[in-house]
Homo-oligomer: A and B are copies of this chain.
């Protein structure tokens, strides 16, 4: 770590992007974080709403979403278009010099179409490379990259990518050059022992306890891949990983979950 500069990589969930009050709270808190930062945003419900309005039946195999060609068009429109530009314009209004990116822009994040083993996920991208130099150049010019989770394969194909994984991979890549802290912001105060009791917040979570909580079904559903990518970041050079609501961006003393090795 030593003399490396600090960079904050901040993932905000679709549930924040979807909610005007939470989005406002995000804007108020993001201003408080000094130094270079990279924002990664999730998709929210807008893509599903648009799909339904267009009569595109959401495809699922064994509960997992499939990105067929019409779905890829919809998520590209919503994530890279509407949500990304709304966030960029909102940040610009605060004086944050935001610049929106998909993985195709500047070849920032390259992926490959997930190989078909048992399930064909369609146009879903598994990340191969994050070009640190592209992010670094933008940060050095005083810009704040705002990344949606659309990547490309370098051969002209756009790909739908998991936003939690994207945040983790960008943070891991940046840690070769920067002292990188990674935030996952969502609508809860952090990881909870009992999902119905906010006061059961786990303030420090190590992998052993995580595995135990998974076994006890205290951590379920979307929190599992999120925590998997979060621990992967911590295991690969990212110096701190924090999970909580957007208020932790503005006040790091607020209670939230910090991962530990």
Q: Which residues of A contact B (CB under 8 A)?
A: 50, 53-54, 73, 76-82, 84-86, 88-90, 92-93, 97-102, 104-107, 137, 141, 143, 150, 152, 154-158
Contact = CB atoms under 8 A, between A and B. Distances in A.
Number of copies: 2
A154 B85 contact: no
Query: Which of A53, A76, A81, A156 neighbours the largest number of chain B CB atoms within 10 Å of its CB?
Result: A81
Main secondary structure, interface of A, reads helix
Contact of A90 (B78, B89, B137, B156): B156
Contact of A150 (B50, B78, B85, B152): B85
A244 to B, nearest CB: 26
B82 A152 contact: no
Contacts of A101: 99
Contact of A141 (B80, B85, B90, B137): B137
A53 to B, nearest CB: 5
A156 B95 CA distance: 10
Nearest to A155: B93
A97 B154 CA distance: 11
A88 B105 contact: yes
A104 B92 CA distance: 7
B81 A82 contact: yes
B106 A99 contact: yes
A78 B80 contact: no
A158 B85 CA distance: 8
A76 B80 contact: no
A92 B54 contact: no
Nearest to A87: B104
A166 to B, nearest CB: 15
Contact of A81 (B80, B106, B157): B80
A71 to B, nearest CB: 13
A106 B144 CA distance: 9
A155 to B, nearest CB: 5
Contacts of A80: 80-82, 84-85, 100
